[in-house]
Amino acid sequence: MMEDRYPAFDNNLMDDATLHEPRRRRLFVWFKELIQIVLIVVVMRVGMDLFLPRYVVDGASMEPSFHTNERVIVDRITMALSGPARGDVVVLASPTAADELLIKRVVGLPGEHVTITDGRVYINGAPLDEPYVVEFCIYPSCEGSWVLDNDEYFVLGDNRMHSLDSHSFGPVEASTVQGIARVRYWPLTQADILQAPEY
C-alpha cells in the first residue's frame, strides 16, 4: 500500500503563538496609530499656543468693538514678520502693571508724529477717520503730541473716555505687543474675522 505523501493538515499542530500572531500585530498597529494621533494633537496644541494663542477680553476700554469675556485668537506670526497695520487690534503687556495684558487699537506707526487735539487723532498733521469710536476723550489729559521711534506704536482703546492707553503711558515698544487679534470666536453670536479698517 502506497504511503500518503501529503497528509491532511492538522489544526492541532498550530501552536497558540501562531494563532495569536495576527491579533498581536493588529493591536500593535492600532497602538502605534493611537500614539501618532496623540502626538499630532499635542504638536498642534503647542503650535496654537505658541503662534495663535487665545485671550479673554477684560474691561470696557474697547467697547463697543469688544466686550468683557469675549475671546479672541491672536496672530503672533504677522507680528514677528511685519508688525501690525494701522487699525489692527493688538494684545500687549501693560506698561504700568506686571503680568497684565491689555487689548488696544493701533493708531500710530513707527516714525510717525501723533497729535491729539479735542479728542481727535492726527497723524503727521492729517486727521484720522475713526468710525469705531463712539465718544472721543474730551479731558485735557487726553491731548498731547508724540513722535514715535522706529520700534514704537501708539495704541488707544475705542472707548476713549474709559481707557488706559497711550494717552496716559505714551507710545509702546514693539517688543511689548503679544500679537494681533485675528478672530473673535466667543460668544458664537459675535464670532467673526477681525480686519483693520480702511483709512
Task: Judge whether 104 counts as a catalytic residue.
Answer: yes
- The answer on pLDDT for 13 being more than 50 is no
Query: Average pLDDT of 98-121?
Result: 96
What's the pLDDT tens digit per position in 63-106?
999 999 999 999 999 998 999 999 999 999 999 988 899 999 99
| pLDDT value of position 9 | 46
Task: Judge whether 32 counts as a catalytic residue.
Answer: no
- The answer on pLDDT for 17 being more than 60 is no
Q: What is the pTM (predicted TM-score) of this model?
A: 0.77
- The answer on pLDDT for 11 being more than 70 is no
Q: Is domain 54-193 in CATH 3.40.366.10, yes or no?
A: no
Q: Which of 32, 94, 104, 175 is catalytic?
A: 104
Q: Which of 61, 65, 163, 166 is catalytic?
A: 61
Band the pLDDT of 18: cuts 50, 70, 90.
Answer: low
| pLDDT value of position 47 | 61
pLDDT > 90: what percent of the chain?
67
- The answer on pLDDT for 34 being more than 70 is yes
Half-sphere exposure of residue 57: CA atoms within 13 angstroms, side-chain side: 26
- The answer on pLDDT for 147 being more than 60 is yes
- Would you kindly state where each structural domain of the chain is located, as residue ranges? 12-51, 54-193
- The answer on pLDDT for 4 being more than 80 is no
